[in-house]
Amino acid sequence: MATLLYRLGRFAFRRRHFTVLFWVALLALAGVGAAGAPVAGNSSFSIPGTEAQKAFDVLEERFPGASADGATARVVFKAPAGEKMTDAGNKAIVQDTVGELSDGSEVARVTDPYQGGGVSEDGTVAYASVSYRVSGMELEESSRDSLEDAAEGARDAGLTVEIGGDALQTVPETGATEVIGIGVAAVVLVITFGSLVAAGLPLLTALIGVGIGVASITALASTLELGSTTSILATMIGLAVGIDYALFIVSRYRAELAEGREHEDAAGRAVGTAGSAVVFAGLTVVIALVGLSVVNIPMLTKMGIAAAGTVAIAVLIALTMVPALLGYAGRRVRAAGEKGKRRGRGDEEKENGSARGKAQEKAQRPNMGTRWARFVVRRPVAVLLLGVVGLGAAAIPASSLELGLPDDGSQPTSTTQRRAYDLLSEGFGPGSNGPLVVVVDARNSDDPDAVFRQTGDDIKALDDVVAVSPAVPNKTGDTATITVVPDSKPSSVATEDLVHDIRDAGAGIKTDTGADVLVTGATAMNIDVSQKLNDALVPYLTLVVGLAFLLLIVVFRSILVPLKAALGFLLSVMAALGAVVAVFQWGWLSGLMGVEETGPVMSMMPIFMVGVVFGLAMDYEVFLVTRMREAYVHGEEPGEAVVTGFRHGARVVSAAAVIMMAVFAGFIGSSESMVKMIGFGLAIAVFFDAFVVRMAIVPAVLALLGKKAWWLPKWLDRALPNVDVEGEGLRTDADAGAGGKGGGPDDRDLARV
């Protein structure tokens, strides 16, 4: 592989006009497609095979025209102090508003609060329910405007009016912190390279890659029903890995220049060595993201595949566009350790010799990575214990993890959705924000009406039930719906228990009468989603870690190194989950993070964090440990190989981790609670994995294992393909054939790949 990538890097360097034109043209094509595409909507949390989805399908079949999947809105009214909503004047205002709401072309029905039990017992709060014929993704902007205009008219008349439901859901905003994250990345790159040109290359290529990926997602959003958060998460991951992959190749290019190589040969060797690590690191990320499809949640599958596509683009751009831009940069990207100075055009050979001498002189001075590695090698047990205990302590809050899905109660208090949620809780109790819909399918029953009454009575006898509406049968009388209002808020454990209690009672009714009793609604659907995710976590973890473990065996030709990498990942992801629980569930530092409402952790968080963090953790493992193995196979002792790996890789890996943290942390400013939580979780996970696991635990374990770390059974060694991530083939060919500067494989080397 190193030989093939070496040739690809040299080709991109020589044919830089063609290479850059290709990527720019692809960006323009994707941009044109995105410009003419509709704005992405919001993804559905429906899951095939769950009871909530089965009940939803029954509603679609037995209640035609009911628009069971349509958008909904609740317009909540509150009377001025000292007045009631039943006062004649206030009642007239509400009824006028209901009339305005009914005029919309996409409105299916509007429930009058005075006829549908929508007035609180104390008379201070009332609400009207609006159902639409189309889903929230398909709702026209004019319908949203009409909804807000009707509410504004009631406000002008003296009432407090807020709107809840999914009809007003919009594409989440990320805010200025995303730009700040990119700015931090730029500063880190300048410090790392000491050059604006060298620092600008990773940023430019990452932005182009993300632009192509996100534009493609936007262009296909309507066709593939991609949610609005899909492009945000693709941006988050694509930016991070795109900058990092380009960073590693540019860094290796500067190191090759420092050894006195010609620019074209240095570009080829950078792609052949660091590029090999980029390919395998990218593969681990893609495996982790595509593996999300095993959960069988359409939204999560689409998010994973879209993000994986963006990562694949980042890998291809790093392998081709980065060397092409290095060709344009020429001597403006200097050798590692070389300070800027004025040069004449005829000083090329002198410059190369000087660079080699400076590199050798600098290699004799231990940098911070070298000093740290030597410290760890001398005291591996203490460092290992400190790292494991520290991560274990950070993981303690994860034992209190509660999972759920966000609702209007998790919105900022500045939004009308959150204020409507609070008004409904004030007037009708917290459970009114998440009523359960019980579907009774009595086709196989001899007396459907009796079944409907029995179901309602059995539900009333359960704990945590505030109200049970009379059964509403369909036209044929064989199916009915019953609305149940819990006493607890939708995201509470008590409401989840109530859903299970109703289903248990329904199992008894089915045994007695043959009727199916199914629970659905947004709250029940969220509970089923959370359960589905919990059940899929272990199989998903097994699949992803297993595949990546096999991949790393091929890369490192070792059993213990991949095993250590996987165990270290588990430590970092558990510590990160503990931090998420502490902030978003317990409320620690919630004000600093902009978390206005604590509650259950988003149910997708653990499995999504496992997928993304595992891929990113393997990035650092591949980049750092590949340098160690390269030194080991070239004859160094295991302990010294660890030091050599840190001397060449610690600074770059640290810069890459800081960049990733900055990019992920930039999404903490999002208005979408899911994006905010994922941004924080990934940022803290990168910190734990890069600076505790990879920088401390990994060298400590390798120092303790010694030569055993690189042990591989002989039969397995013969069976595995030799991918040559270390670039040994390049070194051998150069020594045997070229014998000097610029030496490398020729066309015949392809026969050995």
pLDDT of 404 > 90? The answer is no
Q: pLDDT tens digits for 414-453?
A: 788 889 999 999 999 998 888 899 999 999 888 889 999 9
Largest CA-CA distance found in the chain, in angstroms, rounded: 99
In this prediction, residue 733 carries a pLDDT of 54
C-alpha distances in angstroms, 560 versus 293, 512, 629, 642, 718?
Answer: 29, 58, 13, 15, 18
Lowest mean pLDDT among 220-229, 356-365, 476-485, 572-581: 356-365
Lowest mean pLDDT among 7-16, 369-378, 540-549, 676-685: 540-549
In this prediction, residue 748 carries a pLDDT of 37
Q: What confidence category does residue 46 fall into, taking pLDDT thresholds of 50, 70 and 90?
A: low
User: Which is more confident, 489 or 630?
Assistant: 489
> What burial class does residue 390 get, using C-beta atoms within 10 Å of its C-beta: 0-12 exposed, 13-18 middle, 19+ buried?
middle
Pick the closest to residue 441 from 379, 509, 491, 495 (CA basis).
Answer: 509
Lowest mean pLDDT among 233-237, 334-338, 696-700: 334-338
Highest mean pLDDT among 495-499, 566-570, 591-595: 495-499
Q: Are 171 and 39 in contact (CB under 8 A)?
A: yes
In this prediction, residue 688 carries a pLDDT of 94
Q: Which residue shows structure tokens 């995303």?
A: 178
Cβ within 8 Å of residue 736, ≥6 positions away? none
Residue 112's H or E segment, with its range, is none
Residue 537's H or E segment, with its range, is helix 522-556
Q: Are 75 and 151 in contact (CB under 8 A)?
A: yes
Q: What confidence category does residue 374 fall into, taking pLDDT thresholds of 50, 70 and 90?
A: very high
In this prediction, residue 2 carries a pLDDT of 75
In this prediction, residue 749 carries a pLDDT of 40
In this prediction, residue 730 carries a pLDDT of 65
Q: What confidence category does residue 84 fall into, taking pLDDT thresholds of 50, 70 and 90?
A: very high
For the segment 131-157, the average pLDDT, to the nearest whole number, is 84
Q: What confidence category does residue 286 fall into, taking pLDDT thresholds of 50, 70 and 90?
A: confident
Q: Are 127 and 74 in contact (CB under 8 A)?
A: yes
Lowest mean pLDDT among 173-187, 202-216, 657-671: 173-187
For the segment 663-678, the average pLDDT, to the nearest whole number, is 77
pLDDT of 344 > 50? The answer is no
Distance CA 738, CA 382 (A): 47
For the segment 617-636, the average pLDDT, to the nearest whole number, is 81
In this prediction, residue 300 carries a pLDDT of 78
User: Which is more confident, 382 or 49?
Assistant: 382
Lowest mean pLDDT among 48-52, 55-59, 340-344: 340-344
Q: What confidence category does residue 25 fall into, taking pLDDT thresholds of 50, 70 and 90?
A: very high
Here the tokens at position 174 are: 């990320």
Q: pLDDT tens digits for 680-724?
A: 998 999 899 989 998 999 999 999 999 898 888 888 888 888 776
Average pLDDT, the chain: 82
Highest mean pLDDT among 181-190, 194-203, 461-470: 461-470
pLDDT of 139 > 90? The answer is no
In this prediction, residue 227 carries a pLDDT of 65
Q: pLDDT tens digits for 721-741?
A: 877 665 666 665 554 444 444
Q: Are 608 and 275 in contact (CB under 8 A)?
A: no
Q: pLDDT tens digits for 572-585?
A: 989 999 999 999 88
User: Which is more confident, 214 or 392?
Assistant: 392
In this prediction, residue 679 carries a pLDDT of 85
Distance CA 59, CA 67 (A): 9
Rg of the chain over all Cα atoms, to the nearest angstrom:
30
Q: What confidence category does residue 361 fall into, taking pLDDT thresholds of 50, 70 and 90?
A: low
For the segment 139-153, the average pLDDT, to the nearest whole number, is 87
pLDDT of 403 > 70? The answer is yes
CA 8 and chain centroid, separation: 31
In percent, how much of the chain has pLDDT > 70?
Answer: 87
pLDDT of 569 > 90? The answer is no
In this prediction, residue 94 carries a pLDDT of 92
Q: What confidence category does residue 339 fall into, taking pLDDT thresholds of 50, 70 and 90?
A: low
In this prediction, residue 240 carries a pLDDT of 78
Q: Are 619 and 416 in contact (CB under 8 A)?
A: no
In this prediction, residue 206 carries a pLDDT of 87
**Pairing verdict, β 403-404 and 601-602:** parallel
**3-state class of 67 per DSSP?**
coil
Cβ within 8 Å of residue 378, ≥6 positions away? none
In this prediction, residue 752 carries a pLDDT of 36
pLDDT of 330 > 90? The answer is no
Q: What confidence category does residue 746 fall into, taking pLDDT thresholds of 50, 70 and 90?
A: very low
In this prediction, residue 738 carries a pLDDT of 44
pLDDT of 384 > 90? The answer is yes
Q: What confidence category does residue 337 fall into, taking pLDDT thresholds of 50, 70 and 90?
A: low
pLDDT of 348 > 60? The answer is no
